[in-house]
A and B are shown apart, each in its own frame.
Chain A
Amino acid sequence: MDTFSIAGKTFASRLIIGSGKYPSHAVMVKAHEASGADMVTVAVRRVNISDRSKESLLDYIDTSKMFILPNTAGCYTADDAVRTARLGREAGLSNWVKLEVIGDERTLFPDNEALIEATRVLVLEGFVVLPYTSDDPVVCRKLEDAGAAAVMPLGAPIGSGLGIQNPNNIRIIREFSRVPVIVDAGVGTASDAAFAMELGADGVLMNTAIAGAQDPAAMAEAMKFAVRAGRLAHLAGRIPRKLYATASSPIEGLVGR
């Protein structure tokens, strides 16, 4: 049985999805259903005091089927990320956090130094920490040493849809890591997700690729199959690449020879 577990908790799907940027709650609900995912990320934000008429996100996520993973998106210091993680734990149902400490506004690349520091603090406080990190095997090893329950290297900048920019690094990170490797960010379409899984990733996390598609529910279904197909292909063991052809049909018994 090919099970996917993080910190002792087993998930049915290796696809982890976001809840941001959907055109409406109704579209999100359909996409979530079609994705087959059982873990969804959410952000922690101030309640609008002057206008509280907005519906609650949790009214549109079936928490009996979906595990909620609060993030620290938008935090630029370790302190802010730790603070946000603590609030997310209290607002939510678990001690899990998708840890983000951003280092640059244009690329949204992580500040890995602050990320490692925040990981250490939160692990000591009993959090299950899933850090969003650069696709750097050394940083991933340091995060694992700091107690991260998984490492989540980016495939490309958040929301860019560029696909896996450094496949070699993802493979090396998989080789180095004793914790699950989840490719987080950069997926544009189904083949990107399949490729990440073929490289050996244990899971893929995406938001924009589904929420921003013209038909989010259809893309969510495509991602479900892509992640599964990529995983199966990885386990099956692909053939070696060769420069020249090898015939698939017998070369003996040809008519006229």
Chain B
Amino acid sequence: MTITLNGDPFDISGPLTVSALLAKLEIDARRVAVEHNLVVIKRATFDDAIVREGDQVEIVNFVGGG
């Protein structure tokens, strides 16, 4: 199944939690914020939020800026 991850199509084998998605991507959950279908997900609920077919996921972090 396919989701939209940071604007691009991304294939996953099936529905999975945000935590599992971050683990699969080898991203440290403490360093990022996640938006799931336009709603920001609290870090404490990364284990509960399920990503499904066609969902939009944004994963962001801090970069240098003014």
Contact = CB atoms under 8 A, between A and B. Distances in A.
Interface of A: 18-22, 28, 41-47, 49, 52, 56-58, 68, 70-71, 73, 83, 86-92, 158-159, 185, 205-208, 211
A46 B59 contact: yes
B35 A20 contact: no
Interface residues on B, range: 20 to 34
Contacts, number: 105
B30 to A, nearest CB: 9
B14 interface: no
Given A86-B40, A87-B58, A20 B27 contact: no
A64 to B, nearest CB: 16
Interface of B: 5-8, 10, 25-28, 31-35, 38, 40-43, 58-66
A19 B65 CA distance: 5
Contacts of A57: 61-64
A238 B42 CA distance: 51
B35 A42 contact: no
Contacts of A206: 66
B59 A47 contact: yes
A209 B58 CA distance: 32
